[in-house]
């Protein structure tokens, strides 16, 4: 690989830097590792959630009695895998049954008024907001890396230039001055290399989250329409 080839300027800059410069390099390497690991995990989670949601949504049609449907979500590779569609359905079913039981107790009729439907819709949209927040959990790490990476690179740049001027004042060898400049430029490049993929991944995941929220809202509207057709008074 070119990155580890002999004479690579980044490796040379790292080897020639002082302890503080090496600390900046390692901080950038760690941020890069965290960024790529989180990106891979979040993209995998998003694909699994989309697949399970499509499978769950395919089980419904207008002829199904949603309140008496017994259905368990398809299990993912890990037990903690989010299943927003099932959570939306479960919350809607629970709220609807509670309101219908109350109406049956008070008015001897197990039907829903328009006010009841509005309340169910409000609770359903609250569930959607909670699921959307769950899917975007830890995305702040990427946005932090987007900001922190270039700043660490800039810190390396300033430190390298400072070392260069220090060597000039002390009339030291030109090799020492070049090592400072090399570290200054290398940390700047590494900082940008860390931040750019994190920025692209963050924007991609945020946009995908917005699209999936619209899908959740569409799915909940289908469920609410089904409930209204079957149980509205």
User: Residue ranges of the domains in the chain?
Assistant: 32-53+80-231
Mean pLDDT of 197-206: 94
DSSP conformation letters of 87-110: HHHHHHHHHHHHHHHHHHHHHS--
What does the pLDDT look like over 143-152, one tens digit per residue?
999 999 999 9
**CA distance readout (Å), 33 to 23, 80, 201:** 15, 23, 14
Bigger pLDDT: 85 vs 58 = 85
Q: Is the pLDDT of residue 102 over 90?
A: no
**Nearest-angstrom CA–CA distance, 133 and 43:** 16
Confidence of residue 100 (pLDDT cuts 50, 70, 90): confident
Average pLDDT of the chain to the nearest whole number: 81
Query: Can you tell me the distance from the alpha carbon of 32 to that of 146, in angstroms, rounded to the nearest whole number?
Result: 10
Higher pLDDT, 82 or 66: 82
Question: What gap in Å lies between CA 204 and CA 209, rounded to an integer?
Answer: 8
The share of the chain scoring above pLDDT 90, in percent, equals 34
pTM of the model: 0.80
In the three-class reduction of DSSP (H, G, I as helix; E, B as strand; rest coil), residue 232 is classed as: strand
Pairwise CA distance, residues 148 & 168, whole Å: 30
Is the confidence at residue 77, as pLDDT, over 70? no
The pLDDT of residue 224: 87
Question: Does position 56 have pLDDT exceeding 60, yes or no?
Answer: yes
pLDDT interval class at 2 (50, 70, 90): very low
């Amino acid at each position: 690989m070119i990155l580890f080839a002999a004479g690579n300027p980044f490796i040379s800059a790292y080897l020639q830097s002082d302890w503080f410069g090496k600390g900046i390099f390692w901080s950038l390497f760690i941020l890069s590792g965290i960024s790529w690991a989180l990106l891979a995990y979040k993209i995998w989670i998003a694909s699994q959630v989309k697949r399970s949601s499509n499978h769950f949504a395919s089980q419904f049609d207008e002829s199904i009695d949603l309140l008496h449907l017994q259905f368990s979500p398809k299990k993912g590779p890990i037990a903690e895998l989010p299943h927003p569609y099932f959570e939306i359905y479960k919350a809607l079913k629970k709220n609807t049954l509670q309101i219908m039981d109350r109406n049956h107790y008070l008015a001897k009729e197990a039907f829903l008024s328009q006010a009841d439907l509005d309340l169910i819709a409000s609770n359903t949209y609250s569930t959607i907001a909670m699921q959307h927040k769950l899917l975007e959990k830890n995305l702040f790490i990427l946005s932090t890396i987007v900001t922190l990476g270039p700043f660490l690179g800039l810190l390396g740049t300033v430190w390298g230039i400072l070392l260069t001027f220090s060597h000039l004042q002390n009339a030291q060898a030109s090799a020492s001055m070049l090592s400072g400049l090399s570290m200054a430029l290398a940390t700047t490049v590494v900082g940008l290399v860390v931040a750019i993929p994190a920025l692209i991944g963050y924007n991609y995941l945020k946009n995908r989250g917005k699209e999936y929220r619209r899908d959740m809202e569409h799915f909940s509207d289908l469920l609410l329409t089904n409930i209204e057709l079957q149980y509205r008074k």
